[in-house]
Chains A and B, each alone.
Chain A
Amino acid sequence: MQIIKRIGIAVMTLLLVTGLTFVLVHNMPGDVFEVIAYRIAQQQSITYEEALQQARAIIHYDPNVPLLTQFTEYAGGLLRGDLGKSVIFQQPVNKIVAEAVPWTVFVLSVSLLISFVIGTLAGMVMAWKRKTFLDPIVTTISSVTDAIPDYVTALLLMVIFAVNLRWFPTKGAYSSSTIPGFNLPFIISVMKHGALPIFVYILQGFGGWALLMKGSAVSVLGEDYIMAARARGLKERRIITNYLGRNALLPSVTALAMSLGGMLGGSVLVETVYAYPGLGWFFGQAVSMRDYGLMQGLFFLTATAVITANLLADLIYSRLDPRIRTGE
């Protein structure tokens, strides 16, 4: 029953998001259409009237059609997996997404994995050993990264390592002199271009994972079954992996699932700073060039990913932890 209720709430949220993006675009200031229509008229050298028609078709919006029909058409497109069209790039949003997703997923999954593993291990050590050299380091890192917005970290790293030291390139996902494919120069180029964004995300995430793990490990250490395991004279290693690790990892795993979902949104600002052509960069472009079709499509995609991830995290949590299976 719980599962059905959760799925129900997720579906409702998704419907609300669909409605929201629809309403936003529906209430779009009138001159936006004119701007887009002028742009199309110039690009394709057609009359203004024709361009206006095209602009309306692109954003799934025609003021002469009843509201409900408009909404069903819009939602129908989404259900068929059609995210709409981009005005600026003159392409279906689906095609842009297909180009952008690999970059965002590459950078974010690598950094998420690294910061999760290092952070969780550090948190575990901090809880088990108490008062190690790690504590002050992790506390400092986490309050500093809490204070510095990610885009500022990105800017600083770029100025230091890309502009001044020239260790890494400043923009793009790979060097235009390499041929995309499975060859060494291309792979090295991709690594070099991805290194700084990856490092930014690792820095931003590490402290959080460490503190989360430390907190839950400390509370698990106070449980009776740990004391019982110790009293039975079990090996330290066994207590750490089987008793402490498994139980303390629960909140981290759920948070990881949620972060994986949030990942698809990318970070608009970090990707824009590095001109890294992932979903976030395209979203930034869409927003600054008032490309409502692209904005709408990408936002819907992001929201769907986040909602699905939250639902999954809920389900994972209730599967892993039998205590919360029965009630809220």
Chain B
Amino acid sequence: MKTSWRILRRNPRALLGFVILLGFGLMATIGPYLIKLDEDQNFAERFQAPSLSHLMGTDYVGRDVFAQIIYGSRDVLIVAVLAAILTILIGVFIGAISGLAGGPLDTTLMMLVNVILTVPSFPLMLIIASMFKVTNPISYALLLAIWSWGGLARAVRSQILSLKKREFIEAARVLGLPAGHIIFRQLLPNITPYLAINFISIMRHAITASVGIMMLGLVPYSSSNWGMMLNLAVFQSGAVYTPSAIFYLLAPITAICLFQLGGIFFAHGLDELMNPRLRS
């Protein structure tokens, strides 16, 4: 814990990333308790510029944009975290089986991974989203994860393959330790740092994809999701063409970009933290 703080402090970019992500985390967890989401429509106050009563202005029917961003962050982050967990679970499962089993099972699984990596994922997600009713964060996360684990599975497989040949695994085998012990106590802890770094980048991609899908008007289960806000602003209410509505449009855009940037910055620091060889 102490070393991680020291490394973070020496790397201002990673620290900034950490602060941004922490801010989003707090916003999503505590935010909705502090601020009330007022769904009442008030046409007299539509497209207002930021003021003390509306920190980010108002939307096309006069609702507070700031509150929507806060409630949206909970939505967006829950989906992204769930999607990252699912992606990693599937990726590690398939990659580990493939790397451990070898033989025809390995060949078949890697062929499947090949297919997953070749077939364009975003159009496929759109097709699936249009066929099944996605009504809650869990099914949305599943939709985002189902075609995204290919790269991870391949990387996990090659890590397992190289770990398998190391001395400490050989030693554990010679000692006659059970397979479960070798897998969960020896192999998996060695790939955890890799997974931790990937967790953030998978979350970033899940946010890009989920907001994009919602922006198209699919999966409309939550009205304050950033993607839904963009959909309403761009395709439904014509806010794009209204100069005074610029803050309504910029609010979700800024939120997305800020999160992405925070993720990128923090991942660099995490890289250094998990990989002592990178420390100077």
Closest to A283 in B: B123
Q: How far is the CB of A105 from chain B (nearest CB, A)?
A: 17
Bits for B52-72, please: 1 = Cβ < 8 Å to A, else 0: 000000000000000000000
Q: Are B243 and A299 in contact (CB under 8 A)?
A: no
Q: Are B215 and A151 in contact (CB under 8 A)?
A: yes
Q: A268-B126, A287-B216, A288-B216 are in contact. Are A155 and B119 (CB under 8 A)?
A: no
Which residues of B from 119 to 145 have beta carbons under 8 Å from A? 119-120, 122-124, 126-132
Let me know if B192 is at the binding interface, CB within 8 A: no
Q: Are A295 and B216 in contact (CB under 8 A)?
A: no
Which of B82-90, B163-171, B172-180, B249-257 lies on the face that meets chain A? B249-257
Query: Once the chains are docked, how many angstroms separate the CA of A170 from the CA of B256?
Result: 23
Q: Are A147 and B264 in contact (CB under 8 A)?
A: yes
Q: Are A287 and B218 in contact (CB under 8 A)?
A: yes
Between B128, B129, B215, the greatest number of chain A beta carbons within 10 A of the residue's beta carbon is seen for B215
Which residues of A from 258 to 282 have beta carbons under 8 Å from B? 262, 265, 268-269, 272-273
Q: Are B249 and A159 in contact (CB under 8 A)?
A: yes
Let me know if A315 is at the binding interface, CB within 8 A: no
Picked from B128, B130, B230, the residue with its CB within 8 Å of the CB of A290 is B130
Q: How large is the interface on A (under 10, 10 to 19, 20 to 34, 35 or more residues)?
A: 35 or more
Picked from A27, A148, A303, the residue with its CB within 8 Å of the CB of B257 is A148
Let me know if B50 is at the binding interface, CB within 8 A: no
Query: Once the chains are docked, how many angstroms separate the CA of A155 from the CA of B9?
Result: 36
Picked from A29, A170, A273, A310, the residue with its CB within 8 Å of the CB of B118 is A310
Bits for B227-247, please: 1 = Cβ < 8 Å to A, else 0: 000100010000011010010
Bits for A139-152, please: 1 = Cβ < 8 Å to B, else 0: 00001101111011
Let me know if B111 is at the binding interface, CB within 8 A: yes
Which of A9-17, A36-44, A114-122, A228-236 lies on the face that meets chain B? A9-17
Let me know if A164 is at the binding interface, CB within 8 A: yes
Q: How far is the CB of B148 from chain A (nearest CB, A)?
A: 15
Let me know if B19 is at the binding interface, CB within 8 A: no
Between A21, A265, A269, A290, the greatest number of chain B beta carbons within 10 A of the residue's beta carbon is seen for A269
Query: Once the chains are docked, how many angstroms separate the CA of A9 from the CA of B113?
Result: 12
Let me know if B32 is at the binding interface, CB within 8 A: no
Query: Once the chains are docked, how many angstroms separate the CA of A295 from the CA of B124?
Result: 10
Bits for B210-223, please: 1 = Cβ < 8 Å to A, else 0: 01100111100000
Let me know if A302 is at the binding interface, CB within 8 A: yes
Interface size on B, residues (CB 8 A): 37
Q: In the assembled complex, which residues on chain B have CB atoms less than 8 Å from the CB atom of A158?
A: 240
Q: In the assembled complex, which residues on chain B have CB atoms less than 8 Å from the CB atom of A306?
A: 118-120
Q: Are B241 and A163 in contact (CB under 8 A)?
A: yes
Q: How far is the CB of A21 from chain B (nearest CB, A)?
A: 8
Q: Are B234 and A9 in contact (CB under 8 A)?
A: no
Bits for B96-122, please: 1 = Cβ < 8 Å to A, else 0: 000000000000000100110011101
Q: In the assembled complex, which residues on chain B have CB atoms less than 8 Å from the CB atom of A164?
A: 243
Q: Are B216 and A272 in contact (CB under 8 A)?
A: yes
Q: Are A28 and B131 in contact (CB under 8 A)?
A: yes
Q: Are B260 and A148 in contact (CB under 8 A)?
A: yes
Q: Are B114 and A9 in contact (CB under 8 A)?
A: yes
Q: How far is the CB of B221 from chain A (nearest CB, A)?
A: 15
Picked from B118, B129, B208, B241, the residue with its CB within 8 Å of the CB of A149 is B208
Picked from B216, B249, B257, the residue with its CB within 8 Å of the CB of A269 is B216
Closest to B230 in A: A155
Let me know if A245 is at the binding interface, CB within 8 A: no
Q: How far is the CB of B19 from chain A (nearest CB, A)?
A: 16
Closest to A291 in B: B130
Q: A151-B215, A287-B126 are in contact. Are A9 and B111 (CB under 8 A)?
A: yes
Q: Are B257 and A299 in contact (CB under 8 A)?
A: no
Q: In the assembled complex, which residues on chain B have CB atoms less than 8 Å from the CB atom of A273?
A: 234
Let me know if A307 is at the binding interface, CB within 8 A: yes
Query: Once the chains are docked, how many angstroms separate the CA of A175 from the CA of B127?
Result: 31
Query: Once the chains are docked, how many angstroms separate the CA of A268 from the CA of B4?
Result: 41
Minimum-distance CB pairs A-B, first 9? A147-B260, A149-B208, A147-B261, A287-B126, A287-B130, A13-B115, A269-B212, A148-B257, A265-B120
4 additional A-B pairs beyond A17-B115, A24-B131, A269-B215, beta carbons within 8 Å, are A147-B263, A152-B256, A155-B230, A272-B216
A-B contact pairs, 23 of them (CB 8 A): A13-B114, A13-B118, A16-B115, A17-B119, A24-B127, A144-B261, A147-B263, A147-B264, A148-B260, A149-B212, A149-B256, A151-B215, A155-B240, A159-B240, A164-B243, A170-B240, A262-B120, A269-B215, A287-B216, A288-B130, A288-B216, A288-B218, A299-B127
Binding site for B on A (CB under 8 A): 9, 12-13, 16-17, 20-21, 24, 27-29, 32, 143-144, 146-149, 151-152, 155-156, 158-159, 163-164, 170, 262, 265, 268-269, 272-273, 283-284, 287-288, 290, 295, 298-299, 302-303, 306-307, 310
Binding site for A on B (CB under 8 A): 111, 114-115, 118-120, 122-124, 126-132, 208, 211-212, 215-218, 230, 234, 240-241, 243, 246, 249, 253, 256-257, 260-261, 263-264
